Amino acid sequence: MELRLYDTLTKEKRAFTPIDPSNVRMYVCGPTVYDFAHIGNARPVIVFDVLFRLLRHRYGADHVTYVRNITDVDDKINDRAARDFPGLPLNEAIRKVTEKTADQFQADVAALGCLPPTHQPRATEFVLPRADGRADMVTLIRQLIARGHAYEAGGEVLFDVQSMPDYGALSGRRLDEQKAGARVAVDAHKRNPADFVLWKLSSENEPGWDSPWGRGRPGWHIECSAMSAAYLGGERGDEVFDIHGGGLDLIFPHHENEIAQSRCAHGTHAMANYWMHNGFLQVEGEKMSKSLGNFVTINDLLRDWPGEVVRLNMLKTHYRSPIDWTLKGLEESRRVLDDWYKDVADIEPSDDIDPEFLDALLDDLNTHKAITRLHQISPTLRLSEGRLDDWSGDAARRHKKSAALLLGLLPQTAAERTERGRSLTGIDTARIDQSINDRAAARARKDFKESDRIRDELAAMGVVLKDGKDADGKPKTTWEIAR
């Protein structure tokens, strides 16, 4: 089956054809590093990690280049630096804030089973022309001015939106509508109220770089045009790359403006061939916000939940739909993973992925359907439906290989299973299995006092035993975590 992806620009699901199959190129907007990343920020990171893994599976691990930037210049960072390190010179304080936050982000997303992207450029390293000749922001801005798409006014360099006939195509906002509806006061120095900042002058206590337009700092959008060109600009001068992603709040103005800058600077028909946007996440039915007190950081969540539970919970919903993040959902995801871990812990994964599972992912990353398929081929479900007779080891082996693509990893060996089982439930699964065997032995010798004692001991640990029968009608005891 072919890979099909929904493109926000053309508003259709299309077959994905890479420009160069030996180097499939993807860019995703990364975090602004001034505070802990929240669970909403985790969504694009997880979603595009699944796409990265799928592309690697399809085109080969060495044939995919994934760039996710780190925004380490932003007025929010300056404010945080001044607040948290009032005694330090601003530049030092900024470095402390961004380094600490970026390290925390890397640790958080690694715990969510995400592969590191091929390149993770930091904006501050791409402001001025570079020794290695990779694209930079100042050079891009000069190109835009030279080509008549930008002008200097009022201490800023601005992009001239009217110089681009189809400005607004991604978000569907037309310039004349924007003008009519403009409630914001028009800055007198702008030719058009929609013109946006490429460069602005810095005061003495703001970070700045010396540029042809004075000591200043870049606007937000130009960063991504520079960093994507720096790593995804084709070697044959082909500046268009394959996939650009981010959350749907970035469609306007961020991605609209990235497109304007990159196309006008390079003189190309497109910036990227597929624009992908994940839907928004809310918490227990409400928009997440600090003032509502329902602001959940990845870090908080990882204290209570294993990374793979968070990840599975995120992927139960298709990436373009909104997610309501709930405790109930997390608990359910944990139960599902407990089952899968028990099912496949001691088997070797197969080499091939389950075909129906793969087809679901190839259909615009339908992780919801892919997870449904994993349920179907899970031995636990087959057992509960009395269908264990048609269970084959191959299905379980494929289950394990498939789940690894979605979740990053599953335990490989019995020892790892015990280790991860402990981390998954806070309970030692090997010990539970031992207790179940001891209890079965006690019952076999009719020592019901002992068998009850073992059952109560497990209950005190929060483990509930269920006595049933296996497919051959022999007694079998399973367990679950009481919640």
**Structural contact between residues 397 and 347, judged by C-beta atoms closer than 8 angstroms:** yes
Q: Give the DSSP letter of residue 19.
A: S
Task: Pick the binder of ligand AMP from 29, 64, 137, 232 (CB under 6 A).
Answer: 29
Among Zn ion, ligand AMP, none, partner that 224 touches (CB below 5 to 8 angstroms by kind): Zn ion
Distance in Å, CB of 154 to ligand AMP, minimum: 26
Contacts of 466 (CB under 8 A, 6+ apart): 477, 478, 479, 480
Measured N-to-C along each axis, helices 90-111 and 75-84 cross at an angle, to the nearest 10 degrees, of: 110
Across 192-214, b (16+ Cβ under 10 Å) vs e yields: bebbbbbbbbbeeeebbbebebe
Q: Give the shortest CB-26-to-Zn ion separation in angstroms.
A: 13
Cα 4 to Cα 8: distance, rounded to the nearest angstrom:
13
| Shortest spacing between CB 294 and ligand AMP, in angstroms | 11
In whole angstroms, how close is the CB of 224 to ligand AMP at the nearest point?
11
Least distance in angstroms from the C-beta of 223 to Zn ion:
7
Tokens of 342: 């028990």
State the minimum distance, in angstroms, from the CB of residue 364 to ligand AMP: 17
* Beta strand ranges found along 136-237 (DSSP E): 150-153, 156-159, 196-201, 216-218
Residue from 5, 29, 51, 67 touching Zn ion (CB under 5 A): that is 29
Nearer to ligand AMP, 29 or 140 (CB): 29
Note the Cα 220 to chain centre separation in Å.
Answer: 20
77 binds, among ligand AMP, Zn ion, none (CB under 5 to 8 A by kind): none
Choose, by CB under 6 A, the member of 249, 304, 346, 348 that binds ligand AMP. Answer: 249
- Which contiguous run of DSSP H or E holds residue 293? none
Candidates 207, 208, 219, 246; binder of ligand AMP (CB under 6 A) is 246
Listed in sequence order, the residues at least 6 apart from 70 whose beta carbon sits closer than 8 Å to its beta carbon are 30, 31, 33, 98, 102, 105, 120, 121, 122, 123
Minimal distance in Å, beta carbon 312 to Zn ion? 28
User: Could you say which of 8, 41, 101, 257 contacts ligand AMP (CB under 6 A)?
Assistant: 41
Q: Which residues pair with 306 in a beta bridge?
A: none
Q: Does 230 bind ligand AMP (CB under 6 A)?
A: no
31 interacts with, out of Zn ion, ligand AMP, none, CB within 5 to 8 A per kind: ligand AMP
**Is residue 386 left, alpha or beta, with left meaning phi > 0 and alpha meaning psi from -120 to 50?**
left
For ligand AMP, which residue of 44, 329, 379, 408 counts as binding (CB under 6 A)?
44
Nearer to ligand AMP (CB atom), residue 44 or residue 117 = 44
Spatial distance between the Cα atoms of 452 and 172, rounded to a whole number of angstroms: 67
Residues 247, 307, 379, 411: which binds ligand AMP (CB under 6 A)?
A: 247
**Contact (Cβ atoms closer than 8 angstroms) between residue 367 and residue 405:** no
User: How near is the Cβ of 199 to Zn ion at its closest, in Å?
Assistant: 17
- Which among Zn ion, ligand AMP, none contacts residue 43 (Cβ within 5 to 8 A by kind)? ligand AMP
Q: For ligand AMP, which is the closer residue by CB, 40 or 307? A: 40
* Contact (CB, 8 A) for 330 and 309: yes
Position 158 contacts Zn ion (CB under 5 A)? no
Size of residue set near ligand AMP by CB under 6 A: 15
Q: Which residue is nearest to ligand AMP (CB)?
A: 247
Looking only at residues 252 through 281 of this chain, which bind ligand AMP when binding is defined by CB under 6 A? 278, 280-281
CB of 19 to ligand AMP, least distance (A): 23
Distance between CA 42 and CA 139 in Å, rounded?
32
Nearer to ligand AMP, 98 or 402 (CB): 98
Nearer to ligand AMP, 307 or 379 (CB): 307
Find the binding residues for Zn ion in span 213-252 (CB under 5 A): 224
Burial label for 315, CB within 10 Å (0-12, 13-18, 19+), is: buried
From the CB of 5, what's the least distance to ligand AMP, in Å?
17
Is residue 8 within the footprint of ligand AMP (CB under 6 A)?
Answer: no
By C-beta, is 47 or 224 nearer to Zn ion? 224
Cα 244 to Cα 384: distance, rounded to the nearest angstrom: 43
Out of 9, 81, 288, 410, the residue judged to bind ligand AMP by CB under 6 A: 288
Rg of the chain over CA atoms, in angstroms? 27
Place of tokens 């398929």: 373
Identify which of residues 233 and 246 has a Cβ nearer to ligand AMP in the complex. 246
Hey, what are 30's tokens?
């990364």
Q: Is 70 in the site for Zn ion (CB under 5 A)?
A: no
Q: What is the spatial distance between Cα 450 and Cα 33, in angstroms, rounded to a whole number? A: 57
- Interface residue list for ligand AMP (CB under 6 A): 29, 31-32, 40-41, 43-44, 246-247, 249-250, 278, 280-281, 288
